[in-house]
Amino acid sequence: MISFKKNNTPKIVKPGPNLEAEARDWTKCPGCRALLYNKHLSENYQICPKCNHHFRLNSREWLRLLSDEGSFCPLFEEFEAEDILEFTDNETYVERIKKACKKTNANEAIQTGTCTIEGHKIAIGVMNFHFIGGSMGVVVGEKIVRLTTLATEQKLPLLILSASGGARMQEGMFSLLQMARTAGAIGRFQKENGLYLSLLTHPTTGGVSASYAFLGDVIIAEPQALIGFAGARVIEQTTRQKLPPRFQTAEFLVEHGQIDKIVERKVMKKVIARILSFYQEGWSSHGVKKNE
């Protein structure tokens, strides 16, 4: 006869430093739910190799990806947001700003400056969604206006990368005014034959999409990026109509002629460099000196 011995109660392994460290080495893809090794994810430009989901990059990561090594020169870093309205909901606006600064190691939702992209000098602004949802307040608007003015004066191409939930509600009407200010500055820049490249990433919505994001001479988007003004649910509730599939995605917009091209992150730098090369060759052929 075969006898069975009752097993002891299984041991419960408590999470320790090693297990916690190993857990931090992996990320679950929100698109396909696959478990991805962070090192491999980083080597693949923060793109899921299984479903092509593009993980969100912060402004520093984008600058490393797009600019030539060591070429980025920051501008207007001294500007910081103020609590103009003394706004408070479940916490004060001042506290929100402090938390965002600590979380992102930045003092605003956009980094601005100049850099070179494969040797082509350019004025660049890169938004950071991790800073209060990439919201546009007075400082964001001011930095874009000043960057655009500098690009006009120095005859530099302008690139703005958008990643935003829209205008910053804690600054009320002052934030909405930035839509007109940024649009006006870019309009003046384009009247001087300046080239404005607009790069739309996930998400580009609200007041940002309704102002400078869609004013580009060339508008590029990342795959699967959410791009639009109001949310899909708000539109459906307002119009009482069912929206078409993939509505407000980059793929839907390029099919309907609202953006020019969808570009994979891996080749984004090369595509932008090629556009800049065509632009500078055009200026040179018309007797205009190339940017130095």
pLDDT at position 292: 44
DSSP 9-21: PPPPPPP-HHHHH
Taking the CB of residue 21, how many other CB atoms lie within 10 A of it?
9
Residue 34 DSSP SS3: coil
pLDDT at position 109: 97
Are residues 166 and 138 in contact, defined by beta-carbon separation less than 8 angstroms?
A: no
pLDDT at position 234: 86
Task: Give the CB-side neighbour count of residue 282, counting CA atoms within 13 A.
Answer: 10
Go through the domains of the chain in sequence order and give each one's CATH number.
25-55 (no CATH), 57-285 (3.90.226.10)
Distance between CA atoms of residues 149 and 187, nearest Å? 11
Distance between CA atoms of residues 110 and 123, nearest Å? 13
Residue among 255, 259, 179 nearest 216 (CA): 259
Distance between CA atoms of residues 163 and 199, nearest Å? 9
Chain centroid to Cα 100, Å, comes to 16
Distance between CA atoms of residues 284 and 262, nearest Å? 28
Phi first, then psi: give them for residue 81, nearest 5 degrees.
-65, 145
Strand partners, 167: 136
Are residues 206 and 167 in contact, defined by beta-carbon separation less than 8 angstroms?
A: yes
Phi first, then psi: give them for residue 219, nearest 5 degrees.
-115, 120
Residue 7 tokens, joined: 């097993």
Task: For the chain, 292 residues long, give each residue's pLDDT as a single digit of tens.
Answer: 555 555 555 555 555 556 555 668 899 998 899 999 999 998 898 999 999 888 999 999 999 999 999 999 999 999 999 999 999 989 999 999 999 999 999 999 999 999 999 999 999 999 999 999 999 999 999 999 999 999 999 999 999 999 999 999 999 999 999 999 999 999 999 999 999 999 999 999 999 999 999 999 999 999 999 999 988 888 888 998 998 888 999 999 999 999 999 999 999 999 999 999 998 876 555 444 444 4
pLDDT at position 290: 46
Length of the chain: 292
Task: Report how far apart, in Å, the C-alpha atoms of 170 and of each of 10, 83, 111, 132, 200 are.
Answer: 53, 8, 20, 10, 24
pLDDT at position 281: 75
Are residues 200 and 227 in contact, defined by beta-carbon separation less than 8 angstroms?
A: yes
pLDDT at position 280: 80
